[in-house]
Copies of this chain bind each other. A is one copy, B any other.
Protein backbone atom coordinates (compact mmCIF):
# COMPACT_ATOMS: atom_id res chain seq x y z
CA UNK A 1 0.00 0.00 0.00
CA UNK A 2 1.48 3.34 -1.02
CA UNK A 3 -1.38 5.39 0.41
CA UNK A 4 -1.85 5.98 4.07
CA UNK A 5 -5.12 5.63 5.91
CA UNK A 6 -3.48 6.71 9.13
CA UNK A 7 -2.70 4.73 12.26
CA UNK A 8 -5.30 2.78 14.22
CA UNK A 9 -5.25 2.23 17.97
CA UNK A 10 -3.34 -1.03 17.81
CA UNK A 11 -0.63 0.59 15.67
CA UNK A 12 0.56 2.78 18.54
CA UNK A 13 3.19 1.52 21.00
CA UNK A 14 4.17 3.11 24.28
CA UNK A 15 7.30 5.29 23.97
CA UNK A 16 7.03 5.12 20.18
CA UNK A 17 8.52 8.20 18.53
CA UNK A 18 6.86 9.43 15.35
CA UNK A 19 8.65 11.90 13.08
CA UNK A 20 5.88 13.67 11.20
CA UNK A 21 6.02 14.59 7.55
CA UNK A 22 6.04 17.90 5.75
CA UNK A 23 8.18 20.57 7.35
CA UNK A 24 6.71 23.98 6.61
CA UNK A 25 8.33 27.36 6.21
CA UNK A 26 5.96 29.89 7.72
CA UNK A 27 6.00 33.17 5.83
CA UNK A 28 4.53 36.65 5.61
CA UNK A 29 1.97 35.07 3.33
CA UNK A 30 0.78 32.81 6.13
CA UNK A 31 0.65 35.80 8.47
CA UNK A 32 -1.57 37.70 6.03
CA UNK A 33 -3.90 34.77 5.62
CA UNK A 34 -4.05 34.26 9.37
CA UNK A 35 -4.99 37.91 9.82
CA UNK A 36 -7.58 37.75 7.08
CA UNK A 37 -9.16 34.58 8.42
CA UNK A 38 -9.59 35.76 12.01
CA UNK A 39 -9.14 39.52 12.11
CA UNK A 40 -6.57 39.40 14.89
CA UNK A 41 -5.45 42.84 16.11
CA UNK A 42 -2.68 42.38 18.70
CA UNK A 43 -0.16 45.11 17.84
CA UNK A 44 2.97 43.01 18.46
CA UNK A 45 2.03 40.49 15.77
CA UNK A 46 0.54 43.13 13.47
CA UNK A 47 3.43 45.57 13.09
CA UNK A 48 7.18 45.11 12.74
CA UNK A 49 7.74 48.63 14.06
CA UNK A 50 5.78 47.92 17.25
CA UNK A 51 7.48 44.58 17.83
CA UNK A 52 10.98 45.95 17.24
CA UNK A 53 10.39 48.88 19.57
CA UNK A 54 9.85 46.57 22.52
CA UNK A 55 12.62 44.08 21.76
CA UNK A 56 11.57 41.53 19.15
CA UNK A 57 13.61 41.05 15.98
CA UNK A 58 10.41 41.79 14.06
CA UNK A 59 6.71 40.94 14.38
CA UNK A 60 6.56 37.32 15.52
CA UNK A 61 4.23 34.71 14.07
CA UNK A 62 0.96 34.46 16.00
CA UNK A 63 1.26 31.75 18.66
CA UNK A 64 -1.82 29.95 17.43
CA UNK A 65 -0.53 29.88 13.85
CA UNK A 66 2.52 28.08 15.27
CA UNK A 67 0.24 25.75 17.22
CA UNK A 68 -2.06 24.94 14.27
CA UNK A 69 0.93 24.37 11.97
CA UNK A 70 2.59 21.91 14.34
CA UNK A 71 -0.75 20.30 15.17
CA UNK A 72 -1.51 19.90 11.47
CA UNK A 73 1.64 17.84 10.95
CA UNK A 74 0.58 15.38 13.62
CA UNK A 75 -2.86 14.70 12.16
CA UNK A 76 -1.92 12.19 9.39
CA UNK A 77 -0.14 9.99 11.94
CA UNK A 78 -2.09 10.52 15.15
CA UNK A 79 -5.69 11.41 14.56
CA UNK A 80 -6.77 10.45 11.05
CA UNK A 81 -8.88 7.69 12.61
CA UNK A 82 -9.86 9.60 15.69
CA UNK A 83 -13.38 9.31 17.01
CA UNK A 84 -12.82 12.36 19.18
CA UNK A 85 -10.12 14.82 20.14
CA UNK A 86 -10.33 14.57 23.92
CA UNK A 87 -8.01 17.17 25.32
CA UNK A 88 -4.80 19.16 25.49
CA UNK A 89 -2.42 19.68 28.40
CA UNK A 90 0.93 21.18 29.25
CA UNK A 91 1.18 23.14 26.03
CA UNK A 92 4.10 25.58 26.19
CA UNK A 93 5.41 28.06 23.63
CA UNK A 94 9.20 27.94 23.87
CA UNK A 95 10.67 30.20 21.22
CA UNK A 96 9.54 33.16 19.17
CA UNK A 97 8.85 32.07 15.59
CA UNK A 98 9.42 34.55 12.75
CA UNK A 99 8.51 34.57 9.06
CA UNK A 100 11.08 32.44 7.28
CA UNK A 101 11.39 29.87 10.07
CA UNK A 102 10.60 26.27 9.19
CA UNK A 103 8.53 24.17 11.56
CA UNK A 104 8.57 20.39 11.83
CA UNK A 105 7.02 18.04 14.38
CA UNK A 106 7.73 14.89 16.34
CA UNK A 107 5.37 13.02 18.66
CA UNK A 108 5.99 10.46 21.36
CA UNK A 109 3.34 8.06 22.58
CA UNK A 110 3.14 8.59 26.35
CA UNK A 111 -0.04 6.72 27.17
CA UNK A 112 -2.45 4.12 25.79
CA UNK A 113 -5.74 2.79 27.15
CA UNK A 114 -8.17 0.60 25.30
CA UNK A 115 -11.82 1.38 25.82
CA UNK A 116 -14.10 -1.13 27.48
CA UNK A 117 -15.97 -1.81 24.23
CA UNK A 118 -12.70 -2.84 22.55
CA UNK A 119 -13.49 -0.90 19.38
CA UNK A 120 -11.23 2.04 20.17
CA UNK A 121 -8.73 3.36 22.64
CA UNK A 122 -7.19 6.51 23.98
CA UNK A 123 -3.77 7.55 22.69
CA UNK A 124 -1.76 10.16 24.60
CA UNK A 125 1.05 11.86 22.72
CA UNK A 126 3.52 14.58 23.52
CA UNK A 127 4.04 16.53 20.32
CA UNK A 128 6.95 18.88 19.86
CA UNK A 129 7.42 21.47 17.16
CA UNK A 130 10.98 22.32 16.12
CA UNK A 131 12.38 25.19 14.12
CA UNK A 132 14.97 24.77 11.34
CA UNK A 133 17.77 24.86 13.89
CA UNK A 134 16.34 21.90 15.78
CA UNK A 135 15.22 24.09 18.69
CA UNK A 136 11.94 23.33 20.43
CA UNK A 137 9.36 25.98 19.57
CA UNK A 138 6.28 24.31 21.04
CA UNK A 139 5.50 21.28 23.16
CA UNK A 140 2.13 19.90 24.18
CA UNK A 141 0.25 16.78 25.17
CA UNK A 142 -2.97 15.77 23.52
CA UNK A 143 -5.09 12.72 23.83
CA UNK A 144 -7.47 11.35 21.27
CA UNK A 145 -9.83 8.42 21.02
CA UNK A 146 -8.70 6.36 18.04
CA UNK A 147 -10.60 3.53 16.34
CA UNK A 148 -9.18 0.02 16.18
CA UNK A 149 -8.65 -1.50 12.76
CA UNK A 150 -9.27 -4.97 14.17
CA UNK A 151 -11.44 -5.23 17.26
CA UNK A 152 -9.70 -8.49 18.11
CA UNK A 153 -6.27 -6.94 18.32
CA UNK A 154 -4.94 -7.41 21.87
CA UNK A 155 -5.10 -4.49 24.27
CA UNK A 156 -1.83 -2.92 25.38
CA UNK A 157 -1.10 -2.43 29.05
CA UNK A 158 -3.05 0.62 30.14
CA UNK A 159 -0.80 3.60 30.83
CA UNK A 160 -2.12 7.10 31.44
CA UNK A 161 0.42 9.89 31.86
CA UNK A 162 0.23 12.19 34.83
CA UNK A 163 -0.52 15.61 33.44
CA UNK A 164 -0.39 18.99 35.15
CA UNK A 165 -3.70 20.78 35.61
CA UNK A 166 -1.87 23.99 34.79
CA UNK A 167 1.54 24.91 33.45
CA UNK A 168 3.27 26.39 36.47
CA UNK A 169 4.12 30.08 36.18
CA UNK A 170 7.89 29.57 36.39
CA UNK A 171 7.72 27.67 33.11
CA UNK A 172 6.12 30.57 31.26
CA UNK A 173 7.81 33.13 29.08
CA UNK A 174 10.44 31.15 27.15
CA UNK A 175 9.05 32.41 23.84
CA UNK A 176 8.91 36.04 24.94
CA UNK A 177 12.17 38.01 24.88
CA UNK A 178 12.53 40.51 27.69
CA UNK A 179 10.54 43.50 26.50
CA UNK A 180 11.03 47.18 27.16
CA UNK A 181 7.66 48.17 28.56
CA UNK A 182 8.59 51.85 28.39
CA UNK A 183 8.53 51.46 24.61
CA UNK A 184 5.23 49.60 24.60
CA UNK A 185 2.70 52.13 23.26
CA UNK A 186 -0.61 51.36 24.96
CA UNK A 187 -2.49 53.73 22.69
CA UNK A 188 -1.28 52.00 19.55
CA UNK A 189 -1.97 48.68 21.23
CA UNK A 190 -5.60 49.72 21.67
CA UNK A 191 -5.96 49.17 25.39
CA UNK A 192 -4.79 50.94 28.55
CA UNK A 193 -5.08 47.87 30.78
CA UNK A 194 -1.99 46.21 32.21
CA UNK A 195 -1.30 43.16 34.31
CA UNK A 196 -2.28 44.92 37.50
CA UNK A 197 -5.67 45.90 36.14
CA UNK A 198 -6.94 42.32 35.93
CA UNK A 199 -8.03 40.36 38.99
CA UNK A 200 -8.88 36.71 39.46
CA UNK A 201 -12.63 36.23 39.13
CA UNK A 202 -13.08 39.06 36.65
CA UNK A 203 -15.29 38.20 33.68
CA UNK A 204 -15.13 39.93 30.31
CA UNK A 205 -17.69 39.66 27.54
CA UNK A 206 -15.80 40.10 24.27
CA UNK A 207 -18.99 41.47 22.72
CA UNK A 208 -18.39 40.86 19.01
CA UNK A 209 -19.59 37.94 16.91
CA UNK A 210 -18.06 36.33 13.85
CA UNK A 211 -19.89 34.09 11.40
CA UNK A 212 -17.92 31.25 9.82
CA UNK A 213 -18.13 29.96 6.24
CA UNK A 214 -16.94 26.60 4.93
CA UNK A 215 -14.67 28.27 2.38
CA UNK A 216 -12.93 30.04 5.26
CA UNK A 217 -12.44 27.01 7.45
CA UNK A 218 -11.24 24.92 4.52
CA UNK A 219 -8.72 27.59 3.57
CA UNK A 220 -7.58 27.82 7.19
CA UNK A 221 -7.31 24.10 7.77
CA UNK A 222 -5.39 23.52 4.53
CA UNK A 223 -3.07 26.40 5.41
CA UNK A 224 -2.02 24.25 8.37
CA UNK A 225 -1.75 21.18 6.11
CA UNK A 226 -4.22 19.51 8.45
CA UNK A 227 -5.77 16.54 6.64
CA UNK A 228 -8.67 15.67 8.94
CA UNK A 229 -11.37 14.52 6.54
CA UNK A 230 -14.40 15.84 8.42
CA UNK A 231 -13.53 19.42 7.50
CA UNK A 232 -13.22 18.88 3.74
CA UNK A 233 -15.17 15.96 2.39
CA UNK A 234 -18.81 16.93 2.20
CA UNK A 235 -19.63 13.89 0.09
CA UNK A 236 -18.68 11.65 3.02
CA UNK A 237 -20.04 14.02 5.65
CA UNK A 238 -23.49 13.96 4.11
CA UNK A 239 -23.90 10.39 5.33
CA UNK A 240 -22.28 11.14 8.69
CA UNK A 241 -24.22 11.89 11.89
CA UNK A 242 -24.07 15.67 11.36
CA UNK A 243 -24.78 15.57 7.64
CA UNK A 244 -22.25 18.29 6.84
CA UNK A 245 -18.65 19.41 7.29
CA UNK A 246 -17.42 20.30 10.78
CA UNK A 247 -15.53 23.54 11.30
CA UNK A 248 -11.97 22.74 12.40
CA UNK A 249 -11.58 23.26 16.15
CA UNK A 250 -8.46 25.33 15.57
CA UNK A 251 -10.62 27.86 13.76
CA UNK A 252 -12.79 28.17 16.86
CA UNK A 253 -9.76 28.69 19.09
CA UNK A 254 -8.32 31.35 16.78
CA UNK A 255 -11.64 33.16 16.44
CA UNK A 256 -12.15 33.19 20.21
CA UNK A 257 -8.62 34.50 20.66
CA UNK A 258 -9.15 37.22 18.03
CA UNK A 259 -12.46 38.24 19.62
CA UNK A 260 -10.75 38.39 23.03
CA UNK A 261 -8.71 41.37 21.82
CA UNK A 262 -11.71 43.43 22.83
CA UNK A 263 -11.06 43.38 26.56
CA UNK A 264 -7.59 41.82 26.56
CA UNK A 265 -5.79 43.99 24.02
CA UNK A 266 -2.40 43.88 25.70
CA UNK A 267 -2.39 40.16 26.43
CA UNK A 268 -0.41 39.72 23.23
CA UNK A 269 1.32 36.43 23.91
CA UNK A 270 -0.10 33.02 24.69
CA UNK A 271 2.57 31.43 26.84
CA UNK A 272 0.84 28.14 27.58
CA UNK A 273 -2.39 26.20 27.18
CA UNK A 274 -3.37 24.34 30.31
CA UNK A 275 -6.26 22.47 28.78
CA UNK A 276 -8.95 22.76 26.19
CA UNK A 277 -12.16 21.06 25.26
CA UNK A 278 -14.24 21.30 22.09
CA UNK A 279 -17.61 20.99 23.77
CA UNK A 280 -19.83 20.93 20.69
CA UNK A 281 -19.33 21.08 16.94
CA UNK A 282 -19.51 24.27 14.90
CA UNK A 283 -20.96 24.43 11.38
CA UNK A 284 -20.84 26.89 8.51
CA UNK A 285 -23.22 29.79 9.02
CA UNK A 286 -22.95 29.73 12.80
CA UNK A 287 -21.74 32.86 14.59
CA UNK A 288 -19.02 32.59 17.24
CA UNK A 289 -19.04 34.72 20.39
CA UNK A 290 -16.66 34.55 23.36
CA UNK A 291 -16.12 35.62 26.93
CA UNK A 292 -13.23 35.16 29.34
CA UNK A 293 -12.74 34.76 33.05
CA UNK A 294 -9.47 35.63 34.75
CA UNK A 295 -8.71 32.47 36.73
CA UNK A 296 -5.45 33.65 38.17
CA UNK A 297 -2.84 36.42 37.92
CA UNK A 298 0.77 35.59 38.65
CA UNK A 299 4.07 37.39 38.51
CA UNK A 300 6.81 35.59 36.63
CA UNK A 301 9.95 34.71 38.58
CA UNK A 302 12.73 37.05 37.52
CA UNK A 303 10.69 39.17 35.17
CA UNK A 304 9.56 42.71 35.77
CA UNK A 305 8.33 43.32 32.21
CA UNK A 306 5.26 41.10 32.04
CA UNK A 307 2.90 39.19 34.26
CA UNK A 308 0.79 36.12 33.55
CA UNK A 309 -2.99 35.88 33.47
CA UNK A 310 -4.58 32.48 33.56
CA UNK A 311 -7.72 32.73 31.48
CA UNK A 312 -10.71 30.61 30.75
CA UNK A 313 -12.08 31.64 27.38
CA UNK A 314 -15.45 30.20 26.49
CA UNK A 315 -16.71 30.33 22.93
CA UNK A 316 -20.35 29.92 21.98
CA UNK A 317 -22.33 29.63 18.79
CA UNK A 318 -25.31 31.84 18.03
CA UNK A 319 -25.30 32.94 21.67
CA UNK A 320 -24.04 36.36 22.78
CA UNK A 321 -22.07 36.21 26.01
CA UNK A 322 -23.33 39.12 28.12
CA UNK A 323 -24.46 36.62 30.77
CA UNK A 324 -21.28 34.51 30.54
CA UNK A 325 -22.83 31.16 29.54
CA UNK A 326 -20.77 28.23 30.80
CA UNK A 327 -22.20 25.28 32.71
CA UNK A 328 -25.50 24.37 34.26
CA UNK A 329 -24.63 22.06 37.12
CA UNK A 330 -21.99 19.86 35.51
CA UNK A 331 -23.29 20.15 31.96
CA UNK A 332 -22.07 22.73 29.52
CA UNK A 333 -24.80 25.21 28.69
CA UNK A 334 -26.53 25.02 25.33
CA UNK A 335 -24.48 26.88 22.74
CA UNK A 336 -21.08 26.52 24.39
CA UNK A 337 -18.55 25.12 21.92
CA UNK A 338 -15.12 25.72 23.46
CA UNK A 339 -13.68 25.76 26.98
CA UNK A 340 -10.06 26.88 26.83
CA UNK A 341 -7.76 27.31 29.85
CA UNK A 342 -4.49 29.13 29.06
CA UNK A 343 -1.87 31.61 30.22
CA UNK A 344 -1.31 34.92 28.51
CA UNK A 345 1.49 37.37 29.20
CA UNK A 346 0.73 41.07 29.51
CA UNK A 347 2.89 44.11 30.31
CA UNK A 348 3.15 45.16 33.93
List the interface of chain A (C-beta within 8 A of B). Answer: 2-5, 19, 21-25, 27-33, 35-39, 41, 43, 46-50, 59, 76, 99-100, 102, 104, 132, 187-191, 193, 197-198, 204-211, 213-216, 218-223, 225, 227, 229, 232-236, 245, 262-265, 285, 287, 289, 318, 320
B33/A3 in contact, CB under 8 A: no
Distance (whole angstroms) from the CB of A198 to the closest CB of chain B? 8
User: Main SS of chain A's interface residues?
Assistant: mixed
Please name 6 pairs of A and B residues whose Cβ atoms are closer than 8 Å in the assembled complex, sorted by A: A21-B190, A36-B220, A41-B225, A213-B218, A215-B216, A216-B218
Distance (whole angstroms) from the CB of A270 to the closest CB of chain B? 18
Choose from B19, B28, B245 the contact partner of A211 (Cβ within 8 Å): B245
Q: Give chain B residues whose Cβ lies under 8 Å from the Cβ of A33.
A: 29, 32-33, 36
Q: Give chain B residues whose Cβ lies under 8 Å from the Cβ of A25.
A: 46-49, 59
A38/B222 in contact, CB under 8 A: yes
B187/A47 in contact, CB under 8 A: no
A41/B22 in contact, CB under 8 A: yes
Distance (whole angstroms) from the CB of A26 to the closest CB of chain B? 9
A24/B47 in contact, CB under 8 A: yes
Q: Give chain B residues whose Cβ lies under 8 Å from the Cβ of A205.
A: 3
Q: Contacts A22-B188, A263-B2 hold; do A37 and B209 have CB atoms under 8 A apart? A: no
B2/A204 in contact, CB under 8 A: yes
Copies in the complex: 3
Q: Give chain B residues whose Cβ lies under 8 Å from the Cβ of A102.
A: 47-50
Distance (whole angstroms) from the CB of A25 to the closest CB of chain B? 5
B213/A318 in contact, CB under 8 A: no
Q: Contacts A32-B32, A33-B32, A47-B24 hold; do A229 and B208 have CB atoms under 8 A apart? A: yes
B22/A31 in contact, CB under 8 A: no
B222/A37 in contact, CB under 8 A: yes
Q: Give chain B residues whose Cβ lies under 8 Å from the Cβ of A132.
A: 48-49
A39/B208 in contact, CB under 8 A: no
Choose from B27, B208, B235, B318 the contact partner of A209 (Cβ within 8 Å): B235
Q: Contacts A22-B190, A132-B49 hold; do A287 and B36 have CB atoms under 8 A apart? A: no
Q: How far is the CA of A49 from the CA of B213 in the complex (A)?
A: 34
Distance (whole angstroms) from the CB of A150 to the closest CB of chain B? 19
